[in-house]
Amino acid sequence: MSFKTKYSNLIKSEAKRLGFLSCGISKAEFLEDEAPRLETWLNNRMHGEMRYMENHFDKRLDPTKLVEGSKSVISLLLNYYPSAEQNDKTAPKISKYAYGNDYHHVIKSKLKELTHFIQEEIGDVHGRAFVDSAPVLDKAWAAKSGLGWIGKHSNLLTQQVGSFYFIAELIVDLDLEYDTPVTDHCGTCTACIDACPTQAITEPYVVDGSKCISYFTIELKENIPTEFKGQFDDWMFGCDVCQDVCPWNKFSKPHNEPLFNPKPELLSMTKKDWEEITEDVFKKVFQKSAVKRTKFSGLKRNIEFLK
């Protein structure tokens, strides 16, 4: 067995021990297929007010420009599918990924442990951990590393577990054994395209971010355009519609990460509770949640827009 194989196997088994669903590895190199796609998407203004998407174009496509001397991109998936959902079916809805503690912190600490393990077991390895917080094309790397394929809704999909998981990376200066991409299994299915409440999936595999409910309820700081009134399907933070209708998500199994468990009151709040939410309740329910990103005023704006 070569050192590359040995080290790759070591890293994958430790990732499993840390609770990651799966781990795939690819060569740190320029993402040739993604370059024209990203350029077209930006030129068509599909990023809306997300100006940060225009920055670091080269770094987004080339990890060696982001992490000096990098040789491998280790991609990891962490399940967040909940065992229970909000009780009141008429209440404003929160995307499942935001039920528990902010995933950035939960995953960062796991990646820190994995990095420490690599340095202990393999030696002087340098790199950086990324959780949705830097110019890294997470889904492209996960697909390149064989962890799934990019579905028509532009999310990563896996036959065994669907798409309700977070993606993270370790970009390191270590030569490893590289995995190969898997094939696309969307076939002729158009469930996500047909179900999108705002027609944000403009064609298979292309999502106009500036029309997406997640964009309006999280990223957009100004008022939500009135022409979208009545089209939000009761989503007040994020949106899971394209994932909920995807046939592959019937294979989703509840996560076993205690930090992703929601506060009980989040699931039990009624429509009336949400409409009358105070800043104190907001702080208590979302104390360590990603929902804090939209702030109390943002969540109030979103709830008002649903009325």
Q: Which amino acids are annotated catalytic?
A: 132
Helices and strands, counts by H and E, the chain: 13, 10
Task: Name the residue type at position 101.
Answer: N
Helix (H) or strand (E) holding 93: strand 93-94
Give the Cβ contact number of residue 87 at 10 Å: 11
Helix (H) or strand (E) holding 58: helix 57-61
Helices (H), 62-125: 63-66, 103-121
> Would you put residue 118 in left (φ > 0), alpha (ψ -120 to 50) or beta?
alpha
Closest CA to 64 of 137, 173, 168, 180: 173
Q: Are strands 235-237 and 93-94 parallel, antiparallel or unpaired?
A: parallel
**Distances 228 to 153, 224, 232, 306 between C-alpha atoms, Å:** 20, 8, 7, 10
Burial of 1 (0-12, 13-18, 19+ CB in 10 A): exposed
**CA–CA distance, 150 with 33 (Å, rounded to integer):** 13
Compute the radius of gyration of the chain from its Cα atoms: 20
Quick one: tokens of 299?
Answer: 């969540």
Quick one: tokens of 275?
Answer: 């409409």
Contact between residue 247 and residue 214 where contact means Cβ atoms under 8 Å apart: no
